[in-house]
Homo-oligomer: A and B are copies of this chain.
Amino acid sequence: MSLLVTGSIAIDTVTTPFGVSENCLGGSAVYFSMAASFFTPVRLVGVIGSDCPFDLAKVFADRDVDLTGLEVRPKSKTFRWKGTYSDNLDDRTTDLLELNVLAEAPPKVPDEYKDSKYVFLANTAPALQLQLLEQIETGVFAAADTMNCWIENELDDLKQLLKKTDCLIINEDEARMLADEQNLIRAAKKVLDAGPSVVIIKKGESGSMMCSADGEGFILPAFPAAEVKDPTGAGDSFAGGLMGYLAQVGRTDSESLRTAIAYGTVTASFTIADFSLAGLASISKADIGSRFETLRKVTRF
């Protein structure tokens, strides 16, 4: 089924203990689309400036990523992020953040995208996420990401968004902050009370967990990756694999969500093996399938 993503397209400069990747392609919508395209056609809604050095049509060549929703604003500049990871890759500092085009009005959702059945609203101001969601016909399965600054500064908008969102996919620290509760299990339940029927909490190298309003729970470790060079895009690749699988099978029951989280997990494990999109660009669907089976094997008891 049709999967739509709205999110950022970025020019990133990333420093990790394993090297520096200067002015490389990044952004939530880019990682998400690349990851999801292994499972289902993707409709991308995003905006860049005239300075963007990347030809997205080439980047997504041979992948089923529809770029009708890609807006190029000649007078604007592309979003830029520069970050440095700590030695153990657990922490990162933002060295530079230029919102540029992301500080302007959100892109328009093309008419031909409005029948999308699965929607992922990558992290941005919740008011913008709401505006984007309102452009799409009802009856979708909508998932959203958010981050600390919106929880701190735009909580009312975020609460409105949560009421209209089926699934929230956030980091553990964000879940704790949003729920004002240290214990993750209780935090997840408090988030569910705010609206979504499913909350999926990303725990980095510790994996992820899902809680749903019908009482279903699921916990999955991260894929045991011996090769980690750059964690940038891991969360959006996780969401991409996850939503891509759900859209592929056209179901959001508990079994499908579990399988989707496992696919999201293994897809993200390829992203972090290299800088920018190199990890995802060099693999096939069979590689994802192989790691999926490995993950099942190493977690079974």
Contact = CB atoms under 8 A, between A and B. Distances in A.
B220 A299 contact: yes
A157 B182 CA distance: 40
Contacts of A261: 301
Interface residues of A, number: 31
Given A182-B87, A182-B88, A206-B203, A301 B224 contact: no
Nearest to A292: B301
B207 A217 contact: no
A226 B186 contact: yes
Contacts of A228: 183
A185 to B, nearest CB: 4
A196 B145 CA distance: 43
A258 B224 contact: no
Contacts of A48: none
Contacts of A226: 183, 185-186
Interface in A183-219: 183-186, 203, 205-207, 209, 217-219
B88 A224 contact: no
Given A224-B219, A225-B185, A262 B301 contact: yes
Contacts of A49: none
A296 B218 CA distance: 10
A88 B258 CA distance: 28
A88 B183 CA distance: 8
A300 interface: yes
B221 A220 contact: yes
A259 interface: yes
Given A87-B182, A182-B87, A298-B218, A224 B209 contact: yes
Interface string A168-192: 0000000000000011111000000
Instruction: Return the 4 tightest CB-CB contacts between A and B, nearest first.
Output: A206-B206, A258-B301, A219-B221, A185-B226
7 contacts: A88-B182, A89-B182, A184-B224, A185-B226, A203-B206, A206-B207, A219-B298
Given A207-B221, A220-B299, A258-B301, 17 more contacts: A89-B182, A183-B226, A183-B228, A184-B224, A185-B224, A185-B226, A206-B206, A207-B207, A209-B221, A218-B298, A219-B221, A220-B221, A221-B221, A262-B301, A296-B301, A299-B299, A299-B301
